[in-house]
Amino acid sequence: MDNTTKQRIALISVHGDPAIEIGKEEAGGQNVYVRNVGEALARLGWHVDMFTRKASADDPAIVEHGPRCRTIRLKAGPEEFVPRDNIFGYAGEFVENLLEFQQQEGVKYSLVHTNYWISSWVGMQWKKRQSIPQVHTYHSLGAVKYTSVETIPMIASTRLEIEKTVLETAERIVATSPQEQDHMRSLVSTKGNIDIIPCGTDIRRFGSIDRLAARQELGLNPDEKIVFYVGRFDPRKGIETLVRAMGRSQLRGKANLRLIIGGGSRPGQTDGIERERIEAIVAELGMTDFTTFTGRISDELLPAYYTAADVCVVPSHYEPFGLVAIEAMACGTPVVASDVGGLQFTVVPEETGLLAPPKDEVAFGIAIDRILSNPDWRSQLSRGARLRVEQKFSWDGVANQLSELYIKLIHNSAKVLVKAGI
């Protein structure tokens, strides 16, 4: 199939709006993934409609991202932010409005790619009404997540059941790392078809400036040793481990040390509780003078922050993929990450950074110190990090692999329909 015959496809991301500002409440990797995959697929010739829930009365119903690619916001529940664990009750309304939109526009979709378990249910309902092949990406697996959280939400049993059904019935599941595939097989089901296609990053945007220029742009001291975190404020992200690691004596003894913690919404929003908790620990450990909380970092400044850092730390308790790690590596910044999930796939210990057991502040402290204390070795890791991302994790490469998969599945489903005489 060449570009001229590529068809209309739907990406569904009920709770992760691909057109929203990233870094806002609950907006993170899934939003980035859907937006970048959608835009890259459109560049390859597909007509891409990305469906999400309208979460604010002020947001336009349709956002055009460029030729052949748009976000469509459907009414499903109140037009306000709803935490993801409370959204499922509105998924039925989402399905009805999706089908109505399709009818109004007079279009037909050749394939649906769903993201996260709530959207997987939407895709499965769609399949009950019309014949359409479904591809699904989990972004997070309940079966893994619930082993690392203290309180299991009410919705857990519904989620686990839906995650099992979609694995067994979707035409294809996309695991973003071999580790995620292993979790699906060992914890969810041995049935169903899985392909491994990783997440990606923009290798032109990340890696476009050098370290000195980045520090100048951000007004950061060229002599400081900068340790950087960016991401959502969620206890699963393990920011506390990083803070306590930085509070340890071998790091505290370093002159010109700076800890920069990026991301997070305004006070009063749900992630504000975690941010306040982390700020309190920083104060209690007497680290306020060398710790900076930047708040949300804009798309424009993010590459400079990664590049300015000596080391980027991803201390998550669980991480299905972890975009932050590859964004930092694309900027040539070594990563110290938890030895879990997708981070075991992206970070190669001693080549692109180091891995440490999750929640182990002593091990994190030692790993960070090793990199800060050896500038020559750091430069070597920096080159290894950039190389690994160039070879494995560009969005264009990822979109090409997804495109090939879609073509195959659309072709198979057409054959099935012909056989059935439909």
Residues that bind ligand UDP (CB under 6 A): 22-23, 28-30, 32, 230-232, 262-263, 296-297, 302, 321-324, 327
The nearer residue to ligand UDP, 192 or 320, going by C-beta atoms, is: 320
Give the integer Cα–Cα distance in Å for 341 and 348: 13
Hunting for tokens 């790993």 — which residue is that? Answer: 367
Structure tokens at 98: 């999706």
CB of 319 to ligand UDP, least distance (A): 7
CB of 190 to ligand UDP, least distance (A): 27
Q: Residue of minimal CB distance from ligand UDP?
A: 28
Structure tokens at 195: 């392909």
The nearer residue to ligand UDP, 22 or 242, going by C-beta atoms, is: 22
CB of 112 to ligand UDP, least distance (A): 21
CB of 272 to ligand UDP, least distance (A): 14
Strands 69-74 and 62-66: antiparallel
The nearer residue to ligand UDP, 28 or 192, going by C-beta atoms, is: 28
Give the integer Cα–Cα distance in Å for 304 and 48: 31
Structure tokens at 245: 């690691």
CB of 176 to ligand UDP, least distance (A): 9
The nearer residue to ligand UDP, 98 or 326, going by C-beta atoms, is: 326
Strands 8-12 and 111-115: parallel
CB of 107 to ligand UDP, least distance (A): 30
Burial 151-185 (b: 16+ CB within 10 A, else e): eebebbeebbebbbbbbeebbbbbbbbebbbebbe
CB of 172 to ligand UDP, least distance (A): 21
**CB count, 10 Å around CB of 104?**
8
The nearer residue to ligand UDP, 133 or 231, going by C-beta atoms, is: 231
The nearer residue to ligand UDP, 63 or 301, going by C-beta atoms, is: 301
* Under 8 Å between Cβ of 49 and 10: yes
The nearer residue to ligand UDP, 224 or 327, going by C-beta atoms, is: 327
Concatenate the DSSP letters of all residues of 366-401 into one string.
HHHHHHHH-HHHHHHHHHHHHHHHHHH-BHHHHHHH
Mention every residue, 6+ apart, whose C-beta is less than 8 A from residue 271: 25, 26, 232, 233, 234, 264, 265
